[in-house]
Amino acid sequence: MGKVWIINQYASTPDTGIGGRHYYLSRALAARGHEVTVIAARWHHLLRDQRAAAAAASVEERDGYRFVRVPVPRYAHAHDKRRVLNWLLFGRRLRHLPGRLGESPDTILYSSPSLLGFSGAERLARKTGARLVFEVRDIWPLTLEEVGGQSPRHPLMVWMQRVEDRAYRVSDAVVSNLPNAVDHMTTRGMDRAKFTWVPNGFDRGEVETPEPLSDAAADTLPKGKFLVGYTGTIGAANALETMVEAAARLEDHEDIAFVIVGSGRARDSIAADIARRGLRNILVIDPIPKRQVQSMLARFDACYIGLTHDSLFRFGVSPNKLFDYLVSGTPILYGIDSGRYRPVEELRAGLQIQPQDPAALADAVLKLKALPEAERAAMGARGRRAALETHEYGALARRLEEVLFPEGAS
């Protein structure tokens, strides 16, 4: 079995953040007999419990794998210029890892963002003779240019572009959770044969043994209504204004209600908009523990997922909530233009609509509600079956294993 170091500057544990993709993949790879080390910055802006992260051990054994924290300077927020120093020092300090851990890996997987630390991972791979895999979870600098409005001629963008191009050229393999990212990568000179799609997914244990909803959460939900729900981050990119506007259009349908479950930077503005309009058929409730998500989804008649109409999504998307929705067996209203990647439509697991189109969402709700209950159940069953076959993290770990250890995957 192999030894892999997964370098993700923004990784966290469930104690300090969301855990996420590399938490689940690391557990699954470790369960398959591999020695897994996740390497992250001790501090970053995505941590939910910064005190716990500051107090945590530098090297921590948990859930079958090892979590290593690299000291880095703090910055005020995601757009603070000092964040660049944080990137650079993280990449530079990777060189100390072999001495610090007393070993060398067989494979190093470097995950973006951030992008600049890749140079440190490349030097580390050269020093240790390890196979080098580049994972792209966010296409930089393209994201900063198309979504953030940065000029490609900005010195930092030029620098990042050089790093990205080199990463595609020197890496032994490239993986991404974005199915069509390869279309971009090949325009930057990458050999298409290097690419493997490894999407996000769900944890079987959390799905099969969910925690029941708290009484407070359960009592908040409208009773006797056709419930259209959303769970997750309430951010600008999630197009939840579309959900509010659709609710306004369906205000006269007293048997339909909308529920938004979560937190995020846009939560207050969404709640204020609902209050200003005096809408009584949509409510925002507090986030729930991840292990209760499936219990919440079981209360919904339809799940809404949306994103803003950004050209960057032409390379596909991989939001965790999509796979939570699919495995819940609940029909999905999919308001994302994700290019050739049209999972809900292809699986016939719900209805696809144009992003940020409240009229289309309202019409889709009415259409879904008008279907026989058996037909809606069949939609959900098709999505659940596909999710169990291809998006459970154990299966995804086997796919990643073939990239990390091509000579010894089993």
Which DSSP string corresponds to 43-99?
Answer: --TT-S-HHHHHHS-SEEEETTEEEEEE-----SSTT-TTHHHHHHHHHHHGGGHHH
**pLDDT of res. 77:** 87
Q: Would you say residue 6 has pLDDT above 90?
A: yes
Ramachandran class of 211: left when φ > 0, alpha when ψ lies in -120 to 50, beta otherwise: beta
| Strand 59-62 relative to strand 65-70, pairing | antiparallel
Pick from 16, 46, 234, 5: nearest CA to 138? 46
Kindly state whether residues 121 and 233 are assigned to the same domain.
no
Task: Encode pLDDT of 152-179 as tens digits.
Answer: 999 999 999 999 999 999 999 999 999 9
For residues 16 and 49, the answer to whether their CB atoms sit within 8 Å is yes
The one-character DSSP state at 106 is S
Mean pLDDT of all residues in 334-361? 97
Determine contact, residues 47/69, Cβ cutoff 8 Å. no
Question: Same structural domain for residues 148 and 294?
Answer: no
Specify whether the CB–CB gap between 33 and 61 falls below 8 A: no
Mean pLDDT, range 204-216, rounded to an integer: 92
pLDDT above 50: residue 410: no
Q: What is the pLDDT of residue 17?
A: 86
Alpha helices in 308-390 (DSSP H): 320-328, 343-347, 358-370, 373-390
285 and 157 assigned to the same domain: no
**If we measure between CA atoms, which residue out of 135, 27, 46 comes closest to residue 86?**
46
Q: By the 8 A CB rule, do 381 and 325 touch?
A: no
Cα–Cα distance measured from residue 319 to residue 259, given in angstroms and rounded to the nearest whole number? 19
Quick: pLDDT tens for 233-265: 999 999 999 999 999 999 999 999 999 999 999
Q: Half-sphere exposure of 274 toward its Cβ, with a 13 Å CA cutoff? A: 24
Q: How far apart are CA 371 and CA 374, in angstroms?
A: 8
Average pLDDT over residues 208-232: 95
Q: Is 409 inside any structural domain?
A: no
Do 357 and 323 share a structural domain? yes
What is the CATH number for 363? 3.40.50.2000
- Picking from 267, 261, 383, 273, the residue whose alpha carbon sits closest to that of residue 329 is 383
pLDDT of residue 148 exceeding 90: no
> Are residues 310 and 322 both part of a single domain?
yes
Query: What percent of the chain has a predicted confidence (pLDDT) above 90?
Result: 89
- What pLDDT score does 138 carry? 94
72 and 181 together in one domain: yes
**What is the pLDDT of the chain when averaged over all its residues?**
95
pLDDT reported for residue 153: 97
Structural domain count of the chain: 2
Instruction: Report residue 1's pLDDT band, with 50, 70 and 90 as the boundaries.
Output: confident
Q: What pLDDT does 54 receive? A: 87
Please compute the mean of the pLDDT values over residues 45-50 and round it to a whole number: 87
Q: Which domain holds residue 320?
A: 205-390
Looking at the fold, whether 312 and 302 belong to one and the same domain comes out as yes
pLDDT greater at residue 208 or residue 26: 26
> 280 or 78: whose pLDDT is higher?
280
pLDDT digits (tens, 9 = 90+) for 10-28: 999 988 988 899 999 999 9
Q: Mark whether 162 and 281 lie in a shared domain.
A: no
| Phi (first) and psi of residue 42, to 5 degrees | -65, -30
Asked if pLDDT for residue 409 goes beyond 80, the answer is: no
